Amino acid sequence: MTPTKSKNRWITLAIVASALFLICVDMTVLYTALPALTHALSASSSAKLWILNIYALVVAGLLPGLGTLGDRHGHKTLFIWGLAIFGLASIAAAWSPSPALLIAARAALGVGGAAMMPATLAIIRHSFADQQERALAIGIWAGIASGGMALGPVVGGLLLEHYWWGSVFLVNVPVVAVALMATVFFVPWRAPTGTAQWDIIGSLQIMVGLIAAVFAIKTLAHQPFSILQMLAALAVAAIAFAVYLRRQRRRPQPLIDFSLFRLPGFTPAVAAATFGTFGIVGFELVLGQHLQLVLDRSPLQAGLMILPAPLGAFLAGPLAGRLLKSRPATSVASSGLLLSAAATLALLWVPLTASGLSPLQTGLLVLIGMGVGATATAASSSIMSSAPPDRSGMAASIEEVCFELGSALGVAVFGSMMTIVYAMSLTVPLALDGLPAAVYDSLDEALLVAELLPGRAGTILQAAARTAFTQAYEAVLIGAALLWTATAALTLRTRPRGPVS
């Protein structure tokens, strides 16, 4: 390492950490901004779910291949391109006049995020020659990632207290501008050493398969339901994944080496990481809307009320790391999942009210987050320790994809479940017969219609819609608890060989 690189290594860490913070905040910032955004753009229930999870779908599809692209052309180059795309997409998202354009802008944000994420770790690895300093730097990196996701709802709520919904995207721009200039001057450039070609076709096949599968899930929430649309989307997804798998088996350097899944402990860890994230994303999504649309909390208040769960996940990481020295990873992961499931079911017995969180409710939210955080730590440790050293980079990509895929599935499945239960539970009095079908699509749209109704009619519709949404909220909580319980049982089926070393 040259003297210049040594001198600038902590500045380099600050630069990549600021970019990582933006990436992670964007994963959760819309949990509190969604009601305001939906109201302003008149977005349907399907559109708002696409606004949420197109970002994670694009990141999950591109992550396996973009690390290779950085190896071939330089991680600093890829990082700069990712920053530029992220900044431009943030401007486009902030000023989007329609849901369709916002979805497109969120997809572009995913491209920028997927380019930056693997580059951040690679730059840290190259900038820190000393192993102890590198370990500290990676620990800071992990803390920034967890903190960004935890603070996303609060950041969204804080901005919406004073500005319009587009501010949650526009706030990225000055950070990106400073990071871009600092990267050019301070981040060391290293000659590319990789020779593998970027498999753009494989990356696109993954994205097409994921998007088609999510579309099939979301058709279940459409009223009226179209079985032809669902079957067509499932067929596209199946074909895309089948073609991808066939092509990867013939490539000398596949994007994902599926032989890794035959290693002891690897597949259960992947399942725990994916479904742990799956459940917590669905839980936080429905909780944020319940707090604002049913309990009439402000975006900032909702963000602060959600905060105990992600903070619990953040605190559980180091504790789980210590447990892994004496306990098998499968035991820690399954125990974490069962803890989250039990705390979620207990939360149903102490319903949230407009007066705020009680100490018991706060404690339950912390336990839910701690369970998922412990699961994520154990799963990550198991994934990385199961893989041989020459495939550690690929294992790391699979680990990151697990969390992104779990996030996308959480929004798609539990978002659709929320819509279905809401529509089935909504009972409109005969006096209000003849209302537009949109009232059954989502609580947001029912409240918009209620604003236009005269006299007590609007109040009656609001009450009926909020009652229906409360039932949807409870159904999602039960669904998340069942998912975590089933995943814990699946994880325990593979008997551990011993603690993580």
Mean of all residue pLDDT scores within the chain: 81
Segment 443-457 mean pLDDT: 81
205-233 pLDDT, tens per residue? 888 898 898 888 888 776 666 788 889 98
- 3-state SS string for 54-118: HHHHHHHHHHHHHHHHHHHHCHHHHHHHHHHHHHHHHHHHHCCCCHHHHHHHHHHHHHHHHHHHH
Domain range annotation of the chain: 1-186, 200-254, 260-493
Q: What does the alpha-carbon distance between residue 43 and residue 102 come to, in Å, rounded to a whole number?
A: 10
Q: Does the pLDDT at position 337 exceed 90?
A: yes
267, 387 contact by CB (below 8 A): no
Q: What does the alpha-carbon distance between residue 164 and residue 297 come to, in Å, rounded to a whole number?
A: 17
Q: Does the pLDDT at position 118 exceed 90?
A: no
- 455's CB contacts (< 8 A; 6+ apart) are none
Q: What does the alpha-carbon distance between residue 118 and residue 20 come to, in Å, rounded to a whole number?
A: 10
Question: What would be the CATH architecture of the domain defined by 260-493?
Answer: Up-down Bundle (1.20)
Segment 177-198 mean pLDDT: 74
122, 400 contact by CB (below 8 A): no
Q: What is the pLDDT of residue 88?
A: 95
CATH topology of domain 1-186: Growth Hormone; Chain: A; (1.20.1250)
Q: Does the pLDDT at position 319 exceed 60?
A: yes
Q: Does the pLDDT at position 459 exceed 50?
A: yes
Tell me if 1-186 shares its fold with 260-493: yes
Q: What is the pLDDT of residue 389?
A: 62
Q: What is the pLDDT of residue 448?
A: 82
Q: Does the pLDDT at position 305 exceed 60?
A: yes
Q: Does the pLDDT at position 409 exceed 80?
A: yes
60, 408 contact by CB (below 8 A): yes
472-482 pLDDT, tens per residue? 999 999 999 99
Q: Does the pLDDT at position 283 exceed 80?
A: yes
- pLDDT band of residue 2 (cuts 50, 70, 90) is very low
Q: Is 494 exposed, middle or buried (0-12, 13-18, 19+ CB in 10 A)?
A: middle
More confident residue, 112 or 402: 112
Measure Cα distances from 413 to 2, 53, 286 in Å.
50, 11, 12
Segment 249-265 mean pLDDT: 77
59-83 pLDDT, tens per residue? 888 877 776 666 666 778 888 888 9
**Two tokens, residue 359:** 């100490």
152-163 pLDDT, tens per residue? 888 888 888 888
- 431's CB contacts (< 8 A; 6+ apart) are 457, 460
Closest CA to 300 of 163, 165, 160, 169: 160
Q: What does the alpha-carbon distance between residue 83 and residue 182 come to, in Å, rounded to a whole number?
A: 12
CA angle 138–140–146, rounded 5-degree value? 105
Q: Does the pLDDT at position 471 exceed 90?
A: yes
CA angle 166–168–170, rounded 5-degree value? 65
Q: Does the pLDDT at position 236 exceed 80?
A: yes
- pLDDT band of residue 392 (cuts 50, 70, 90) is low
- pLDDT band of residue 275 (cuts 50, 70, 90) is very high
Q: What is the pLDDT of residue 393?
A: 59
Measure Cα distances from 372 to 198, 352, 471 in Å.
34, 21, 24
Q: What is the pLDDT of residue 245?
A: 86
- pLDDT band of residue 441 (cuts 50, 70, 90) is confident
Longest alpha-carbon distance in the chain: 78
- pLDDT band of residue 5 (cuts 50, 70, 90) is very low
Helices marked H in 387-455 — which ranges? 392-409, 415-425, 443-452
Closest CA to 394 of 210, 307, 266: 266
- Report the share of the chain in percent with pLDDT over 70: 87
Please provide residue 186's backbone torsions phi and psi, each rounded to the nearest 5 degrees: -110, -30
Closest CA to 170 of 39, 284, 26, 47: 26
Q: Does the pLDDT at position 103 exceed 90?
A: yes
